[in-house]
């Protein structure tokens, strides 16, 4: 059997392009089971609809991943595939399909959904399709059975991640992904030569209970790769592609401090001189850990700080105190590590005062990089359920397509939609554009080249109008006086 895996085009532009690790892991599992696999990442590959139809028509199965923001694109891809060859089987996976398996099968001509972690499930499913076996014994899937949609019980998570083969990056044109991602975050890494960086994952799952976080893909049970296994992959990427910079995409990279100390020691013992960036967690960091991480090449850490009001942090079950945030940010900067902080505007229960406090707290921290975003109650999260109970959103009032276009809801106590948008614009202007990043993006030829590519990829007037409004807002914010 030949299997084609598709990564739909993102609706938003980002200067950083990362390897679609989810698909690459799925491809590796299928290859290990002796299937022929191809990956097409529509974010980096220019391919016409006719060429896409030709490729999908020649495949026995097509797998598509995606988040809620890709809803519209996923439906369009399914339609394209089935128009080219109605007999081609279509499997959906990723966060959107995992959250809404029944709805995605009802609203599209897709045949199957892989729910959650997919390496074992996809191999079992494809084997059953190939041999004409019954699907009823396969866990972690949803499928059509005549007029019915069957949703199976969840599959068990993979206990030992060291048994999972490394992502099939050889199926991708890695030259399109290797770049200096550190520079795109606004800082230069010294003493490592010319940086070529990429992304990887060292653990799955998160035991914390933040109300806004979606855990449907990896679950709440934290599972980690061994330091040896991680560094084996890093050495392979260094040898095969010259990668000397790594971005860990783990939600909770630092959960097991002992593992991180061992990782740092082994990285140095192997003589692998590489720079790396990871997500940290305020309540887990110590001064000694940060110093060991820097000594082993860590040059950037991102913290989800979220709010400058303790009451809001407690309501979102963040399990962190503001004074601890101050201390850890101080330790991180003293260790020589570039410090990023991410904040949310418009959390459930917020008001104008708490939003102002968050912005004031962000100024106090003097971080190297800031990220502000409007709070979105994603389907499948505790926050979504709370917003439903409060009557702030409607279960059947907004289609996934609308969420994919706007990904936005007003959960505040006293802000109008216009005020909430104005807060986001103010934060973007102050903490992003005016600090150092405006000049980098507006006067960088790579930015202009990539933006042109985005414009050329737009498929209808609504997307073009939305992008034009965003660009207009960014430009006016940057040059606005005051």
Between the two ends of the chain, the Cα-to-Cα distance in Å is 62
146-150, 166-170, 312-316, 432-436: which has the minimum mean pLDDT? 432-436
Q: What does the pLDDT read at residue 447?
A: 54
DSSP assignment of 161-193: GGGSPPP-GGGS-GGGT-B-HHHHTT-PPPSS-
Q: Describe the crossing of helices 49-58 and 71-84 by its angle, rounded to 10 degrees.
A: 60
SS3 of 368-417: the string is: CEEEEEECCCCCCCHHHHHHHHCCCCCCCCCCHHHHHHHCCCCCCCCCCH
Asked whether the beta carbons of 91 and 135 are under 8 A apart, the reply is no
CB atoms within 10 A of CB 260: 22
- The correct CATH number of 2-151 out of 3.30.428.10, 3.40.50.280, 1.20.58.110, 3.30.1280.10 is 3.40.50.280
- Return the top range by mean pLDDT from 11-15, 42-46, 126-130: 126-130
Residue among 363, 338, 344, 251 nearest 305 (CA): 344
Region 57-79 average pLDDT: 92
Residue 405 pLDDT exceeds 70:
no
Q: Is residue 278 helix, strand or coil?
A: strand
| Whether the predicted model's global pTM rises above the 0.85 cut | yes
Q: What would you measure as the largest C-alpha separation in the chain, in angstroms? A: 68
* Tens digits of residue pLDDT in 153-165: 999 999 999 999 9
Confidence class of residue 472 from pLDDT cuts 50, 70 and 90?
A: low
Confidence class of residue 471 from pLDDT cuts 50, 70 and 90?
A: low
Q: What does the pLDDT read at residue 303?
A: 97
Q: Describe the crossing of helices 322-334 and 352-365 by its angle, rounded to 10 degrees.
A: 30
278-282, 310-314, 461-465: which has the minimum mean pLDDT? 461-465
Residue 481 pLDDT exceeds 60:
no
Structure tokens of 290?
A: 């940060």
Q: Which CATH superfamily is domain 178-443 in?
A: Aldolase class I (3.20.20.70)
* Tens digits of residue pLDDT in 252-262: 999 999 999 99
* Tens digits of residue pLDDT in 377-400: 988 899 999 998 988 887 665 566
Region 56-78 average pLDDT: 92
Residue-range domain boundaries for the chain: 2-151, 178-443, 444-482
Region 398-415 average pLDDT: 72
Strands (E), 50-158: 61-64, 89-92, 112-114, 141-145, 148-151
How far apart (Å, rounded) are the C-alpha atoms in residues 317 and 128?
42
């Amino acid at each position: 059997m030949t299997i084609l895996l598709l990564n739909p085009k993102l609706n938003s532009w980002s200067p950083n392009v990362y390897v679609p690790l989810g698909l690459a892991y799925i491809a590796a599992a299928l290859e290990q089971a002796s299937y022929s696999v191809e990956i097409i990442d529509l974010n980096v590959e220019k391919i016409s609809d006719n060429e896409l139809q030709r490729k999908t028509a020649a495949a026995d199965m097509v797998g598509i991943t995606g988040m809620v923001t890709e809803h519209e694109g996923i439906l369009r891809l399914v339609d394209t595939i089935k128009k080219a060859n109605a007999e081609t089987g279509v499997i959906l996976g990723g966060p959107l399909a995992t959250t809404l398996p029944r709805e995605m099968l009802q609203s599209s001509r897709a045949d199957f959904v892989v729910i959650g972690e997919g390496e074992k499930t996809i191999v079992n499913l494809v084997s059953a399709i190939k041999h004409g076996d019954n699907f009823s014994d396969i866990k972690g899937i949803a499928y059509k059975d005549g007029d019915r949609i069957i949703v199976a019980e969840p599959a068990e998570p993979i206990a030992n991640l060291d048994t999972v083969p490394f992502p099939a990056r050889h199926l991708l044109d890695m030259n399109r992904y290797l770049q200096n991602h550190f520079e795109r975050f606004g800082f230069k890494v010294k003493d490592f030569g010319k940086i070529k960086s990429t992304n990887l994952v060292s653990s799955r799952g998160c035991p914390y209970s933040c109300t806004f976080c979606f855990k449907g893909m990896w679950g709440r049970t934290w599972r980690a790769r061994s330091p040896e296994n991680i560094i084996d992959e890093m050495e392979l990427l260094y040898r095969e592609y010259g990668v000397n910079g790594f971005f860990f995409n783990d939600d909770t990279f630092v959960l097991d401090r002992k593992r991180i100390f061992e990782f740092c020691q082994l990285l140095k013992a192997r003589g692998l001189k590489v720079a790396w960036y990871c997500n940290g967690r305020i309540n887990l960091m110590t001064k000694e850990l940060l110093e060991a991480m820097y000594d082993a090449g860590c040059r950037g850490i991102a913290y989800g700080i979220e709010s400058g009001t303790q009451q809001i942090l407690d309501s979102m079950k963040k399990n962190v105190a503001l004074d601890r945030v101050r201390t850890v940010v101080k330790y991180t900067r003293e260790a020589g590590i570039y410090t990023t902080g991410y904040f949310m505007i418009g959390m459930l229960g917020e008001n104008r005062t708490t939003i102002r406090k968050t912005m004031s707290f962000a100024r106090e921290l003097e971080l190297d990089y800031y990220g502000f975003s409007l709070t979105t109650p994603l389907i499948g999260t505790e926050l979504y359920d709370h917003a439903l109970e409060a009557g702030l959103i409607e279960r059947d009032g907004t289609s996934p397509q609308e969420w994919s276009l706007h990904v936005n809801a007003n959960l505040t106590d006293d802000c109008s939609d216009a005020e909430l948008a104005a807060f986001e614009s103010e934060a973007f202007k102050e903490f992003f554009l005016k600090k150092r990043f405006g000049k980098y993006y507006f006067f960088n030829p790579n930015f202009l080249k990539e933006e042109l590519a985005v414009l050329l990829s737009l498929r209808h007037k609504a997307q073009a109008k939305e992008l034009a409004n965003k660009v207009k807002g960014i430009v006016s914010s940057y040059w606005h006086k005051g």
